[in-house]
Amino acid sequence: MLGSAPVLRTITVALGLGLASTTMVGVGVPIASANPAGVVPGTGDDGEAVHVAVDYAFALDDAQVQREQVGAGVDPTGAQALRTDLAFRQVRQLVTPRAELAIYRNVWLSFAAPIVIAQSSELRLAGGVDRGTSSTFTDGLLPAGGFDAQNPGTALGGDLAFRSIVRR
């Protein structure tokens, strides 16, 4: 029977790991923190008493509004017929200042005040739909000229059915 030497050279591995860790610390490479939510304000010498941050969010929402088709030409015993009637779009920009205040070791209060910079939304007629065939207009949910919240009483032109005010 032939003898075999150990495959893992523990002394070599230990020296390599020790040299690598010494080199990394010696170079001044910072230790990475995986989760920034784990950094909390603290009291005493080991932490900062206050954390302040500002978050920015931009949201763009698009959706299709479908309505059920009823009346002549629709099979009452068949599946419910749906038709895309309107297209919805909303844009929102939000800034949220935050502050975290340490009370005791690993106990803190968190404050946040979301501020809407701008928000607007609109409804347009979907492709292939006009004001005469849109069930939203024929059922009287919106006036024939649409509704402009920025300038009430003024009819909207083109395929625009509704325009909200712009929040600033």
- Establish if 156 belongs to a structural domain: yes
pTM over 0.75: no
Boundaries of domain holding 145 = 50-163
- Establish if 60 belongs to a structural domain: yes
- Establish if 23 belongs to a structural domain: no
Strand partners, 118: 93
Give the pair of three-digit tokens for residue 103. Answer: 């009370």
User: Can you give the pLDDT of all 168 residues of the chain as single tens digits?
Assistant: 555 555 555 555 555 555 555 545 555 666 665 566 667 777 665 667 888 899 999 999 999 988 887 777 777 777 777 888 889 999 999 999 999 888 887 788 999 999 999 999 998 988 888 888 888 888 888 887 888 777 787 777 788 888 887 777
- Establish if 34 belongs to a structural domain: no
Domain tally for the chain? 1
Please, are residues 47 and 41 in contact by the beta-carbon 8 Å criterion? yes
- Establish if 7 belongs to a structural domain: no
